[in-house]
Structure 1
Amino acid sequence: MEVNRAEKYNVKICRKEIIAAAAAEAEAKSLKERFLSLSNIDLLIPHIDVGVFFCYRKPPPLLSPVNNFSSMVAKLKTSLAKALVVFYPFAGEVVANAAGEPELLCNNRGVEFIEAYADVRLDQLDFYDADGTVERKLVPKKEAEGGVLTLQATEMKCGGMILGCSFDHRISDAYAFNMFVITWAEMATDAKELSISPIFDRSLLSFRQENDVGSLEQALKLDEIYVPVSSYSPPPPPSPLIIENSDPPTISRIYYIAAKEINRLQSIASSDGLCRRTKLESFTAYLWKLIARVGKSGQVCRMGVVVDGRRRLGSSEMNAYFGNVISVSYSSLAVEEVEGMGIEELADVVHQFVAEVDREEHFRGLVDWVEEHRPEVCVSKIYIEEGLSVVVSSGRRFPIAEVDFGWGKTMLGSYHFPWEGKGGYVMPMPMSGDKGKDGDWLVYVHLLAEIVEVLETVGAGVFQPITSDYLFSSQK
């Protein structure tokens, strides 16, 4: 399939407005101005914004009345106002409390909604080059001080649309944001019953009154992966994730990995026949091998994995909990150690350090640990320590097939997380349910340029640049 690639394209902002929770529904639910405290786990999250975008083809001509951009935007705005009644924190603003900690003022200030036009077709966009194609063009920058969520609907030259979102990570993790997007889509399609009703009860993550961090052993383990910013030596920059004039440079790319390659890596990582490693563990082990190739002898190479604690906290309510319920577990090895180990051995290491965190006692202990350090700002060590560091966050539950606002399923969707920090970030997600792509992964990476080069040379058989040929063909 031959297409004309758009080396550069322009996005014109056509309109900006504020969408608040629908007044009648909000009044019916007695939504009055209130403060919503951040949980102790929320307080571990640095002040950074997370982006996500969803691409839609031009609606079929018979899909009346939603068959053009203006009708699509009208549907988005109407349903958004309803969704903000249920997910009211997104319409609030972050303020500082008396202790200087962030908290959420739920005042229905509203969400900034941007309408834009791009002079390019969907099939001309180079999504592989996420820096040039996505950042600040299709995913908006959150401008409003204290704002929680900004949205942008961009009309494409071909009649398709891209919906970009940017939200404050301190208020929501990816799981909670996915809940919001699913509800928004359900309201747009007039679903008779919503599949999710969010829970904002912070007592579900309250610290234990006896102020017990679980045990001395547990406390020491937490001290190994989290640190108060003020006690870190050498002192980090004012914002733990930001480095002025960072060198060497980091870049963002989007790849796909064929299902057969994912299965092959899992087979290699499970080759002893005793333990079958997960696809994520296997992928992380392989990635670790590639990253070590850019290191020098004696240099530390850290690999981390974001762990969602909802399923471990023993309550069905946690499945609908709104906020952050994540922790970052990681391990440090010298470059030569990683180079001397096979994928199977590294997968065992990944499994072990993830298992240490993937349990209730870790998350309960983490809540207690933060309470003992408040109001001190704390952060995961992997984000600020020197050396090669990469964090893998699984987006395998990204609801790509469920974000249908009434004009068809998402053609492509991805998180976009280009932080300005020392460490890299990698997020594998499911590809859309298009015929021929079931089981494939889409992988967003934000890594040192030299690591990206290794991915595209040594790892070329696994990491495939996302292309129009791949996206717009029904079969691989």
Structure 2
Amino acid sequence: MGSCGTFGVSVKKRDTVAAALPVQDHWLPMSNLDLLLPPLDVGVFFCYKNTLPLHESVNIVKKSLAEALVSFYPLAGEMVQNNLGEPELLCNNRGVDFIHAYADMELKNIDLYHPDESVDTKLVPLKKQGVLTVQVTELRCGGLVIGCTFDHRAADAYSINLFLTAWAEIAQSKPISNIPSFRRSMLNPRRPPVTNNFYNKLFLPFSSLPPPRSLSPMDPLISRIYYIEAKDINHLQSKSSFNGNPKRSKLVTFAAYLWKLIAECENGFNTCKMGIVVDGRERLDNSLNFDKLSLSKTMPVSMQNYFGNVLSIPYGEANSSELKEMSLSQVGEMVHEFVAPAMTEEHFRGLIDWVELNRPEPAVAKVYVKMDENDGEAIVVSSGQRFPVDSVEFGWGKPCFGSYHFPWGGQTGYVMPMPSTRKNGDWIVYMHLLEKHLDLVETKGRNVFKPLTPSYLNL
């Protein structure tokens, strides 16, 4: 496979790419749902077997980026603080930091199974300024890797997927299929705000955080990338609906299986948390309260084009010894029970109102917080099934691989399953977990989770 940790990356040129058309300087406020996000950067990358001269490919990426930033202009701006201390987007077209790099390595020898060594800060850039940083890395074999790092406060994965698809469409001289909307009024709080104590179970104002405890140094979380074959996903789903139990979604089944797995290495007295990221766009789309007669017919009211964060993170908590004894279908039922209340319009309207009642104090999702000494580990699963890996084509062929990369630095594990480029129902699964959890994944879960290899990707 090659020694992934030894290859070097040299920078050929650093540049700044601004929007191709002038942008009138203005401030774009964050929505209440944006304000739930801490200052975290998220990476995403795509690997290509390039068929064009490398300088031509890099020029296509750069030119199309400048054109894409006309519609996605906040990505060319800066994150600043307003007079309340809250983050705000300054849309000033400062531009996107653009790095043109070279790696003395062949695509087939990059060990994508160990992304901390092969991808992090090598093929996915470290963002120092602005909202978005892009790196195009030429490989010795003539292949290319396009890596992006963005500020999570400005966008969730759904929003970045819109941008990536539009960027690739522009590179192929196609019209943008989804023009982004930055209409924050779609997520305005109600007057007066309507909320209840339910949100206090999911989110926590900073003033309610437990006092820091003197602890031994935390174990670092480690990133790995696996694949799961479609037959194994289907098998888990059938097991979860055994004996007439309701058939749960593949994501709910996957989360239940993972929850049981991580409980195996927990002390029986400890609790174990599982969170699921829920996108609220479809929930909010059904009854947007706008005077539609006042809107142009060319501006449909839809959350499907909304650029920003529309996320909630419901979670469940259970005793690890109980999780070990429960069947997969029973754990799947627990996952369904804590996710279902967040799958409604009222949940997201209430969450927007809850943030409004707590502003300007920041808040954090409670799944990330250890409230007492008996709190065990926590993992958050985010569905990447809409990841447009097949659409991010710039004119020299589809990616042979793509993945999000999110070593976020906290103590809560993060897992994102995405579609495989094989388009056969397989999943690619990015995992950022404690080593003890990865050990379980690779022993007790080895029939499901297979380490990503060049042979699987046909490199």
Shorter-chain TM-score bucket reads over 0.9
Q: Residue 222 of structure 1: which of 174, 199, 208 is its match?
A: 199
Q: Residue 440 of structure 1: which of 426, 436, 441 is its match?
A: 426
CA contact 1:236–1:384 (8 Å) conserved in 2: no
Specify the alignment match of 2:33 in structure 1. 41
Q: Distance in 1 between matches of 2:116 and 2:439?
A: 16
Structure 2 gap ranges (5+): 289-300
CA contact 2:49–2:400 (8 Å) conserved in 1: yes
Structure 1 gap ranges (5+): 60-66, 214-218, 238-243
Matches within 5 A, 1:433-472: 434=422, 438-472=424-458
Pick closer, same or farther for the CA change 1:44–1:6 going to 2, 3 Å.
closer
Specify the alignment match of 1:207 in structure 2. 189
1:431 aligns with 2:429: no
SS in structure 1 at match of 2:124: coil
Q: Residue 291 of structure 1: which of 252, 257, 262 is its match?
A: 262
Q: Distance in 2 between matches of 1:47 and 1:395?
A: 21
Range 366-375 or range 270-279, more displaced = 270-279
SS in structure 1 at match of 2:243: coil
Q: Distance in 2 between matches of 1:286 and 1:390?
A: 12
Kindly provide the CA deviation profile for residues 16-43 of structure 1, in whole angstroms up to 9, marking residues without a partner as x.
00000013xx3xxxx3101100000000
Kindly provide the CA deviation profile for residues 261-293 of structure 1, in whole angstroms up to 9, marking residues without a partner as x.
000000011113342110001110000011001
SS in structure 2 at match of 1:419: coil
Q: Residue 95 of structure 2: which of 110, 113, 125 is its match?
A: 110
Kindly provide the CA deviation profile for residues 374-398 of structure 1, in whole angstroms up to 9, marking residues without a partner as x.
0001010111224210000000000
Specify the alignment match of 2:302 in structure 1. 317
Structure 2 counterpart of 1:184, which letter? W
1:160 aligns with 2:146: no
Specify the alignment match of 1:16 in structure 2. 14
Q: Distance in 1 between matches of 2:104 and 2:216?
A: 33
Structure 2 counterpart of 1:149, which letter? L
Pick closer, same or farther for the CA change 1:157–1:181 going to 2, 3 Å.
same
Structure 2 counterpart of 1:426, which letter? V
Specify the alignment match of 2:377 in structure 1. 388
Pick closer, same or farther for the CA change 1:165–1:246 going to 2, 3 Å.
farther
Q: Distance in 2 between matches of 1:284 and 1:438?
A: 21
Q: Distance in 2 between matches of 1:35 and 1:18?
A: 21
Pick closer, same or farther for the CA change 1:68–1:275 going to 2, 3 Å.
same
CA contact 1:229–1:236 (8 Å) conserved in 2: no
Q: Distance in 1 between matches of 2:213 and 2:188?
A: 29
Pick closer, same or farther for the CA change 1:246–1:71 going to 2, 3 Å.
farther
Q: Distance in 1 between matches of 2:271 and 2:328?
A: 18
Q: Residue 341 of structure 1: which of 301, 307, 326 is its match?
A: 326
Percentage of matched positions with identical amino acids:
50
Q: Residue 414 of structure 1: which of 397, 400, 403 is its match?
A: 403
Specify the alignment match of 1:178 in structure 2. 161
Specify the alignment match of 2:107 in structure 1. 122
Q: Distance in 2 between matches of 1:246 and 1:361?
A: 41
CA contact 2:227–2:451 (8 Å) conserved in 1: yes
Q: What's the TM-score, normalizing by structure 2?
A: 0.94
Q: Distance in 2 between matches of 1:206 and 1:307?
A: 19
CA contact 1:38–1:102 (8 Å) conserved in 2: yes
Structure 2 counterpart of 1:467, which letter? T
Specify the alignment match of 1:379 in structure 2. 364
SS in structure 2 at match of 1:94: strand
Kindly provide the CA deviation profile for residues 441-460 of structure 1, in whole angstroms up to 9, marking residues without a partner as x.
00000000000000000000
SS in structure 2 at match of 1:272: helix
Q: What's the TM-score, normalizing by structure 1?
A: 0.91
Matches within 5 A, 1:57-72: 57-59=49-51, 67-72=52-57
Q: Distance in 2 between matches of 1:346 and 1:6?
A: 38
Number of paired residues? 441
Q: Residue 42 of structure 2: which of 32, 50, 53 is its match?
A: 50
Q: Distance in 1 between matches of 2:386 and 2:243?
A: 29
Structure 2 counterpart of 1:265, which letter? L
Q: Distance in 2 between matches of 1:236 and 1:148?
A: 33
SS in structure 2 at match of 1:172: coil
CA contact 2:245–2:329 (8 Å) conserved in 1: no
